[in-house]
Structure 1
Amino acid sequence: METRVLGQTGLEVSLIGFGGIPIQRCNQWEVDEIVENLIEEGVNFIDTARAYTNSEEMIGEALKQWGREHFYLATKTPKLSYDEVMADVKTSLAELQTDTIDLYQFHNAKTMTDYETIMSPGGGYDALVDCKKQGLIKHIGITSHSYEVLDRALDEDKFETIQFPYNIIENRGAPLFEKAKSKNVGVIIMKPLAGGAFIHANYALRWVAENPNISVLIPGMDSVKQVLKNTRVGNDFVPLTDDERETLEADAKALGKTFCRRCGYCAPCPQGIDIPMQFIVEGYYRRYDLEEWALDRYRSFVANASDCIQCGECEPRCPYDLPIRDMLKKTRDLFDPLL
C-alpha cells in the first residue's frame, strides 16, 4: 500500500484509509472480517466518530481480536465546550478499547460561530490540548464542510490535520489543501466517492489520489468486497488515462444538476431548514443503505423538507444553480410516508 505522511503528525498513513460511518448497519462479525482484510491489504488508518452510533464500539471489538497495533485511530466529537469534549474523549477511549487515540478531531464545525466557541478560552480546543498533555490523544484535527472555517483554522496554526470533502464534483478544496501542505498540515479526504454516487469508484478515488497535497482518502466501506475494490487503488496506484478521465467527467456531469456539494451558501432558510443536511440523510438512506439511521436523523431535525414553503430564497444563493426546491420535495416524498 502506498503511504504518505500525515503532515506534522509524522504518521505514515496508507493512501486509502477506512471511513467508519457505514458499518453502523453491519453485524460485529462483518466488521471483524472487514478489519481483518484491512490489515491484509495494508490499510493502517481508521476514521470514525462519536456521532456514528455504534461504529466506535464495533471497531473496538474488532481491534481486540486483530490487534490495535495495526492501525492509527482517528475519531471525532461534535461537541464544542470543554466538559462535553472531555467526556466524549473518555467515551471514545472506552468504546475503542484503547489507552490513547492517535488523532482526535472536531466533527463538522459548521460555522464561524461554532469555530469561535471551540477556540474560546475554556472551550473544546483547550480540552483536547489537556487530553494531549495527559496522553489520552496524540494529535488534534478539525473537520468541516465549510471552506471558510478550515481556512481560518489554517491561518491560526492550531491544528495538525484538516478533513474536507473532495472529489471531481466537490473540488473546491484544492487551494485549501495547497495551503495546508505549505503549513505541513495533514489533509484527510472525506466523501472521495461523493457518498457512493459515482459509477466508476476506482476512477473517482484515483482522481483524488492524484492530488499531491492530500495525505489519505477515507471512503466509507461496509463489506470486504468494498475493501478489496477500494484498496486496489492504493496497492497499485496509477494516474488516470485520458479515456478514464473522460469517463469520470461524464459521470460527474450526469450528477452535476442534482448533487449538493454542502457548501452552505443556500443558508439561512426562512423556515429554519438545514438544507444540505436534508440531502446528506437522503444520500445515506438511498446510497449507504442506512435507512433506519437516516430516518432517525430526519426525525430529529427541528425543521425538515416537509416544512419547505417553496419560497425559493435559497436557489439564487446556490453557486451550482441546483433546483433546491425540487430536491427538497424529493426528500420530503422519500421520508414523510415513513414518519
Structure 2
Amino acid sequence: MTIELGINFFDTARGYTDSEEKLGAALKKHRDKVIIATKSMARDKKGMAEDIDKSLMTLGVDYLDLYQLHNVKDKGALEQVLAADGALAALKEAKEKGKIRHIGVTGHIKDILLEIMQTGEVETVQFPFNPVEVSGAGKLFELAEKMDTGVIIMKPMAGGALTNAKLTLSFILEHPVTVAIPGMDSPEQVEENAAVGSILRSLSELEREELARIVTKLGTRFCRRCEYCLPCQQGIDIPSVFLFDGYYTRYDLKDWAKERYQAMDVKPDDCLECGECEERCPYNLPIREMLKEAAERLG
C-alpha cells in the first residue's frame, strides 16, 4: 500500500526492537523500489562493523542505502565516532565494500550535528523539525545546502503531539528538506500523509493562523516519545505516562486516559527521583516534575 502511494523511504534502527526484521520481510520483494535507512548507537569501529553485518542479515538484503550514526548527542560521542578506531571508520569501510551506499548522522542537538556535518564525512543529517521545534534548524538547512547534504526530518508530528498532518507536513515541506518520516500506525494515516506529499503547496494565511494557534496551545513542555529517557530503573514507562496525560489534557479523552493509566503495572509513585531520565532527555524536560503532575491528574 505505501509503495503504491509513492512512499519509498523507510527508516529503521538496530535499537528499534524487531523493526529491521519486520521491514526486511515486507520490503525484500520491492528492493529496487525502496530506500532502506537504518542506524546504530555503536560508537567504536568494531561495534559498528558488527551492527552493519547484523542489519544486513536481519533485513535480508545485500546492501543498505543509508547507514547512520544514531543519536550523536554530545562532544564525547562525537569524538568517539570520529576517532581513528571510531564508528565512522567502519561505515567508510563498509561503503568501500558495497555493504552500504551512503553515510548519515542523526541527533537532536543541532550544534553537534553542525560540527559533524562540517567534517564533510556524512551525506545526510536527520533531526527533529516541526512547527513547534524550529530553533536552530535554519543553520542546519543552510549548511546542508552548502555541503549538498540530504535532510531527513524526524518527529515531524512532534511525537504525536501534533495531529493535523495536512497543516504540519505542508509546513515542513515548505522548507528545504529531502524527506520527512512521520510514524504511522493505521492505513488511514498512511493515506493522509501520502496525500500531502503528492501535492506540494504553500499554506494559506488562514492555515498559518490555525497552525499558530495549535503551536501556542501546545507550547514546548511536552514529551516527543523519543524514548531516550528509558529504561527507568523502576520500570516506569515514562513516554506512556505522558501519552495518556496528553490525551487527558489536550484531547479531552479523560476517562480513556485514566483507564489506561490505571492499568499500568508501574506508576510515577514508584519514582526514586534519581534523575537519570532527565540526564538522557534530549529536550531537557523536567521529567520528575512532569510525572508528578501527570499522576495528580490521572490518579
Scaled by the length of structure 2, the TM-score of the pair is: 0.80
- Give the 3-state SS of the residue equivalent to 1:114 in structure 2: helix
Residues 334 and 118 of structure 1, relative CA distance in 2, 3 Å threshold: farther
- Identify the residue that residue 129 of structure 1 maps to in structure 2: 92
- Identify the residue that residue 39 of structure 1 maps to in structure 2: 3
Does the aligned pair in 2 maintain the 1:145–1:164 contact within 8 Å?
A: yes
Paired AA for residue 238 in structure 1:
R
- Give the 3-state SS of the residue equivalent to 2:13 in structure 1: coil
The total of aligned residue pairs comes to 271
- Identify the residue that residue 30 of structure 1 maps to in structure 2: none
Matches for 1:66-77 after TM superposition, within 5 Å: 66-77=29-40
C-alpha displacement at 1:206, in angstroms?
0.6
- Identify the residue that residue 27 of structure 1 maps to in structure 2: none
Paired AA for residue 56 in structure 1:
E
C-alpha displacement at 1:333, in angstroms?
7.2
Matching of residue 251 in structure 1 with residue 214 in structure 2: yes
Unaligned runs of 5+ in 1: 1-36, 263-272
CA distances 1:122-161 after superposition (whole Å, capped 9, x unpaired): 1111010111111100000000011111010122111001
Matches for 1:96-111 after TM superposition, within 5 Å: 96-111=59-74
Paired AA for residue 256 in structure 1:
G
Paired AA for residue 196 in structure 2:
V
CA distances 1:72-100 after superposition (whole Å, capped 9, x unpaired): 11001011111111111111111111000
C-alpha displacement at 1:305, in angstroms?
8.8
Matching of residue 153 in structure 1 with residue 121 in structure 2: no
Residues 250 and 129 of structure 1, relative CA distance in 2, 3 Å threshold: same
Residues 145 and 279 of structure 1, relative CA distance in 2, 3 Å threshold: farther
In 1: Cα distance, 2:152 partner to 2:33 partner: 19
- Give the 3-state SS of the residue equivalent to 1:164 in structure 2: strand
The one of 273, 285, 291 aligned to 1:308 = 273
In 2: Cα distance, 1:98 partner to 1:92 partner: 9
- Give the 3-state SS of the residue equivalent to 1:61 in structure 2: helix
CA distances 1:247-275 after superposition (whole Å, capped 9, x unpaired): 1111111110532579xxxxxxxxxx99x
- Identify the residue that residue 78 of structure 1 maps to in structure 2: 41
In 1: Cα distance, 2:194 partner to 2:238 partner: 28
In 2: Cα distance, 1:53 partner to 1:210 partner: 33
CA distances 1:11-69 after superposition (whole Å, capped 9, x unpaired): xxxxxxxxxxxxxxxxxxxxxxxxxx1111111111111111111111111123x4211
In 1: Cα distance, 2:297 partner to 2:32 partner: 43
In 2: Cα distance, 1:228 partner to 1:200 partner: 13
C-alpha displacement at 1:222, in angstroms?
2.1
- Give the 3-state SS of the residue equivalent to 2:118 in structure 1: helix
The one of 149, 158, 161 aligned to 1:194 = 158
Does the aligned pair in 1 maintain the 2:242–2:294 contact within 8 Å?
A: no
Does the aligned pair in 1 maintain the 2:126–2:151 contact within 8 Å?
A: yes
Matching of residue 215 in structure 1 with residue 178 in structure 2: yes
Paired AA for residue 44 in structure 2:
S
- Identify the residue that residue 169 of structure 2 maps to in structure 1: 205
In 1: Cα distance, 2:201 partner to 2:22 partner: 33
Matching of residue 54 in structure 1 with residue 18 in structure 2: yes
C-alpha displacement at 1:307, in angstroms?
3.0
In 1: Cα distance, 2:106 partner to 2:90 partner: 17
C-alpha displacement at 1:279, in angstroms?
6.2
In 2: Cα distance, 1:134 partner to 1:39 partner: 29
Paired AA for residue 246 in structure 1:
E
C-alpha displacement at 1:174, in angstroms?
2.3
C-alpha displacement at 1:109, in angstroms?
1.0
- Give the 3-state SS of the residue equivalent to 2:101 in structure 1: strand
Identity among equivalent positions (%) equals 39
Residues 285 and 131 of structure 1, relative CA distance in 2, 3 Å threshold: farther
Does the aligned pair in 1 maintain the 2:44–2:81 contact within 8 Å?
A: yes
- Identify the residue that residue 232 of structure 1 maps to in structure 2: 195
- Give the 3-state SS of the residue equivalent to 2:47 in structure 1: helix
- Give the 3-state SS of the residue equivalent to 2:2 in structure 1: helix
Residues 95 and 287 of structure 1, relative CA distance in 2, 3 Å threshold: farther
In 2: Cα distance, 1:193 partner to 1:119 partner: 31
Q: Please give the root-mean-square deviation of Cα atoms over the aligned residues, in Å.
A: 3.6
